[in-house]
Structure 1
Amino acid sequence: MPLLRRSKSEDSAADKALAQAASDEADKGRLSQAATQLVRRLVDLGIDGAGPLAPAAEAAAAARRKHPQVDDAIDALVSSSTRSAAVGGFVTGLGGFITLPVALPANLLGYYVIATRTVAGTAALRGYDLSSEEVRSAVLLVLADEDGGALLAKFGLAGPGGLVTRLARKQLTGPGLAVLNKAIGFQLLSRLGRSGLSRLGRGLPLAGGLLGAGLDAYALRRTAKAARAAFPLRRGEVGSALDSGL
């Protein structure tokens, strides 16, 4: 679903997430800690690489070496991510790296780690520097899907152009990006924790568990499609963007 297509309920959820993210009092709660740590885990594991996972830029560079055309490399990256997710024991292999202060389904957290790596790898292949804070925030916004569109509007970031361009144009300071990232964390926690995960199940049509039976290819490819839209090709920057992550 496009990032800027949203409902009134999504606007309301975005308002709530922003209020929670900006509240000093909320920082003392377990939910706030979980939102912050979820974003940190996704960045650590999905972008920078930690534990058994290599950096996303490294995976992107490997795909580019085999597939000189950028879009072919992205296709290969998505296919590789799908296969990796289907290998049993993926979440177990992450061990304590994925532990959060609140109980959430490990298989769904595993999905978001893989989705983060796919989005970040797509960004790197399109010429974006994954060490940039704006790029990292853009990766997280893609994960939030339609919820991210509501957050963009609340931050005055709706409009034409890629996500990174809009974030740079807004010139959010470090604290501003931190509030945005934390709001995304609240959004993702809300989606993960909804009763019976029913809405998540409809938004991401997963048949059974994400592991063992394998990651539902449609879900990941939909995320990859959103990433392509969010990160238009930066000609002349592709090689340097991949090198910066190695």
Structure 2
Amino acid sequence: MAMTEKLNEGKIMQALNWAYDKALDGSIPGTDSSYEMAENYLKGNANLIDKVNSLIRWQNTKSATTGFVSGLGGIIIMPVAIPANIATVLYVQIRMVAAVAIMGEYDVRDDRVKALAYACLAGNAAKDILKETGIIIGSKISTQLIKSISNETIIAINKRVGFKLLTKFGQKGTINLGKMIPLVGGVIGGALDGISTNIVGNIARETFIESSAITPS
């Protein structure tokens, strides 16, 4: 892998870690944390699948419209130079994935669950990424199965996810990283992709709710 690609992959993972932390802490003004989202959508008498689908549909609607980030207060400076639209996509999608995992009663602060959440961002390629690292989507997940994921496996998953996101957001596996661009409320416009967000949401539901499972091979 070329040095430029390694550098860009590192930038993507820095942005992803930033977005994940912000999503859990709810520290971006004008947005709920993943915990708050999960709590809101768990209310009511519908079954869990329907509640999760409702969350995904609403995130799709937001990501396909121009006003999603209009409620952000002030300017959010990322600790990494990466285009603001990419950082916003990562934030929207990882916040949704983490909320789905919380609704499935997973500990999203566990690095092993975090790696699975990151894999969901790869969309339809998520199962292949997990399979390549020795994890097969199966039936019901258990705490013991989660604990069986090694640090080496976490690193391998994150590496594959980072490269997949490069191909998703960039051209030929690289991203033209310019100077740091602040994430400003209301400026992203229609940069978010509702279709992509829907796919990511569906993968998160299959991973943390429906099949709710991983089985190390």
Contact 1:107 1:211 in 2 (8 A): yes
* Unpaired segments ≥5 residues, structure 2: 175-186, 213-217
Separation (CA, whole Å) in 1 of partners of 2:105 and 2:201: 16
Letter in 2 for 1:148: A
Matching residue of 1:82 = 60
Which structure carries more helix by proportion? 1
Residue from 102, 110, 127 that aligns with 2:105: 127
Who is 1:192 aligned against? 169
Cα distance in 1 for residues equivalent to 2:149 and 2:198: 31
Q: 2:28 aligns with which of 48, 51, 64?
A: 51
Equivalent pair of 1:138/1:164 in contact (CA under 8 Å): no
In structure 1, the residue matched to 2:183 is: none
Deviation of 1:189 (Å): 2.4
Gaps of at least 5 residues in structure 1 are: 1-15, 21-25, 198-209, 236-246
2:76 to 96, 104, 115: 96
Report what 2:197 is aligned to: 220
1:114 maps to 2:99: no
Task: Return the offset for 1:66.
Answer: 4.0
Aligned residues: 195
Matches within 5 A, 1:165-180: 168=146, 170-173=148-151, 176-180=153-157
Give 1:134-173 correspondences, 5 Å limit.
Answer: 134-158=112-136, 160-161=138-139, 168=146, 170-173=148-151
Match of 1:4 in 2: none
1:44-82 CA distance string (max 9 Å, x none): 233443222332121110111245531232133123323
Question: Alpha-carbon deviation of 1:141?
Answer: 0.5
Instruction: State the percentage of identical aligned residues.
Output: 20
* Distance (Å, rounded) in 1 between the aligned partners of 2:191 and 2:153: 37
CA contact (8 A) 2:15 2:80 kept: yes
Q: 1:111 & 1:76 partners in 2: Cα distance?
A: 19
Residue 37 (structure 1) aligned to one of 1, 14, 19: 14
- What's the offset of the Cα at 1:37? 0.6
How many angstroms apart in 2 are the aligned matches of 1:157 and 1:192?
25
Scaled by the length of structure 1, the TM-score of the pair is 0.63
CA deviations over 1:180-231 (Å, ceiling 9, x no partner) = 3244223212321115x9xxxxxxxxxxxx9545855433222222112111
